[in-house]
Amino acid sequence: MSSICSAVVSNSVFNSDIRLAAPPRCLFASKANTMSAYPFHAAHFNAVFPLHLSNIMAVDTSNYIQGLASSLYVSAAITVALLTAFLWRLYNDPLGHIPGPLVAGFTPISLWWLTWTGVECRVIDRLHQKYGPVVRIAPNEVDVSDGAALSLIYIKNGGYMKSPIYRNYDVNGFETIFSALDPAHRAPRAKAVAPMFAHQRIAKGKPDADKVLDAFVAEMQRRKDEADGAPVDVLNLSRALALDTVTVYLFGECFNGISNGRLRVTEFINNFVAGGRFFYLPGWFYDFVDDWSAKLDKKKLLVAQSTDMIQEYATRVVDRSVVEEKDVEPETFQGRLLAAGISREEAIAQVVDVMFAGTDAAGTTMAILCWNLAQHPEKYHRVYKEVVENTELDAQSLPYLTGVVKESLRLSMANPTRFPRVVPPGGMQVPGLPDIPAGTSVGAGAFMLHHNPEVFPEPRQFMPERWLNPSQEMLRDSFYFGAGSRQCIARNLASAGLWWAAEALIRSDVLRGANIVRDKIEIVEWFNAKIVGEKIELHW
C-alpha cells in the first residue's frame, strides 16, 4: 500500500463498471418473424388478442425508451452534483494548501481502514517522506512529524484541547483522567492523585517494589530452568511485573500476577489493546463497531472472565478505602479520589483504567528491553559491568543503564500513533510549516518522531550509547509518554519502575546466555501497539 490514495481508490465506487441492461431482443423483432414462432395462424392470435402486436411493440418500446432517458437524466444529474461538490471542495477547502493524497480531502474511510488493519504508521511515514513534515490524512485531520511543532500542540499554555475521540476510551461510562476532554473536569481528579507521582513519594515505595522485583527475577530464573532450552515468553512475565508494581504502590494491594503462572488477566489487556483499532472512529460509530466486535470475538468468554477479575479487584480496593481511609489522610490512589468527592463507581473506573495503562506500556517496554539485550550480548556485558560496579548508586544515575532504558522506550513505541488535538481559534503557526486553521485535528506520533534519521541516526538500531550525549532534538522528540500537561500522569512511576526492573534483572545475571527466538519484533500499529503473536520469547 503506497499511499492512502491507493488504499481507497482501488475499492472506490467511482471505479465500478456500471452498465445499462440491453432491451429484450423480441421488442425489436418484426411482426412476421414474431408470429412465425407460433404454430397457429395469425388470425387466431388476433382473435384472442385484438390489439395489434405492432401497437404492443410501439407502446413497450416507447416506455422503455422513456425509462432509459429518465435513468440517463438521473445519472447525469448525480454526476454533475458529484463533480460540482468535488470542484467546490477542491477550491474552497480550508485545508487545501496542506499536501497529501487527494482522497484524504474527501473521506476519512481510507484512514480508518489503515488504522483497523494496523498499518497506519508505516503508511503515514511514507506520506511524510513524499509530502514533507505536515500531511493531510483525512478531511479534517493533519499529521505532523516535525518535533518543532510539539511545544505548540502539547506544551505551551497547557497545549491544545484533546480531540473528542478520546471519549472512546471512557471506562464504565466515566471520563477517566486519560480520556477527559475538559481540563476543568480533569483538574480535581488529577490534583487529588498527583502527589503519588512525585519523585520523592515514589522513592518511598521502593521497598515494596523490591519485593515484586525479587519475585520477578526468581520467576524468570524458574521458567528458564524448567524450559530446558525451550522458549520462555518474557512479554507475559513483564506484564505481570508491571501490574504487580502498579497495584502494590498505587492501590495498597499487590495483584500477585507473577505468582500465578501465565498472567490471568492477559485477555483483558489484549482486548483493551484491540479497542485501539477503532480509536479514531466517531463516538457513535465506535460504540456500534466495538459492540459487534465483542459479540463476534471467539475469545469473548475468556475476555469476560479476565475483565471480571480486574473489576473485582478494583471494586475490592475501592470498598476497602471507603471504610479504612474515610477519616484519615488517604495513602492510596483510590482513597485520594474518594476524599476529593469522586463517587465510588467512578473511582472503580479510574482504578481499572490505570491498571490497563500501567500494565501494557511498561510491560511491553520491559520485554523489548530483555529481547534487545539478548540480541546484543556485547551491550549486555557493558551494562552488566556498570551495574555490578556501582551498587551504591541510584539506577537512574547510571549512564549506560539509562541509555538501555531510554533506547528500549524509543523502540518499543507502546503507543505508536498520533495523539490528536484540536487547533484553537487563531490557527496554528509554526515557522517553516504550513499554517493549520482552527478546528483542525492535528497530532504527532512516536512512530515518526522516533524513526526520524535526522534526529536518531540509524533509527531502527538498538544503540544505548546514543544517549550518553543526547542532542536537544533527541530529548525534544522522545515522545514515549506524550508531552505537556496531558502527558501520561504516571510517567514518573513508569520510569522508576523500568529503571528498577532493568537494574534488578541485569544484576541477577539471569539474561546471560539468552538468545532471541525471532529476529524481529513486529507490531500492529493501533493506538496501543499489539505485539504480533502476543509473545516475545527468549531461550537459553
Q: How far is CA 234 from CA 365, 372, 401, 413, 519, in A?
A: 11, 12, 19, 17, 15
How far is residue 397's CA from residue 375's CA, in Å, rounded to a whole number? 25
Dihedral sign of CA atoms 298, 302, 306, 308 in order: positive
In this structure, are residues 400 and 382 in contact, taking their beta carbons and an 8 Å threshold? yes
Listed in sequence order, the residues at least 6 apart from 15 whose beta carbon sits closer than 8 Å to its beta carbon are 9
How far is residue 390's CA from residue 387's CA, in Å, rounded to a whole number? 5
How far is residue 523's CA from residue 120's CA, in Å, rounded to a whole number? 11
- Tell me phi and psi for residue 442, to 5 degrees: -130, 145
Q: Residue 33, Cβ neighbours under 10 Å: how many?
A: 9
488 is in an annotated binding site: yes
Strand 141-144 to 523-524 pairing: unpaired
In this structure, are residues 402 and 106 in contact, taking their beta carbons and an 8 Å threshold? no
Which amino acid makes up residue 256? N
How far is residue 335's CA from residue 344's CA, in Å, rounded to a whole number? 10
In this structure, are residues 145 and 447 in contact, taking their beta carbons and an 8 Å threshold? no
**What's the N-to-C CA distance of the chain in angstroms?**
39
How far is residue 312's CA from residue 243's CA, in Å, rounded to a whole number? 15
Which neighbouring-strand residues pair with 233? 537
Q: Which residues are annotated as a binding site?
A: 488
Q: Which residues are annotated as a binding site for heme?
A: 488
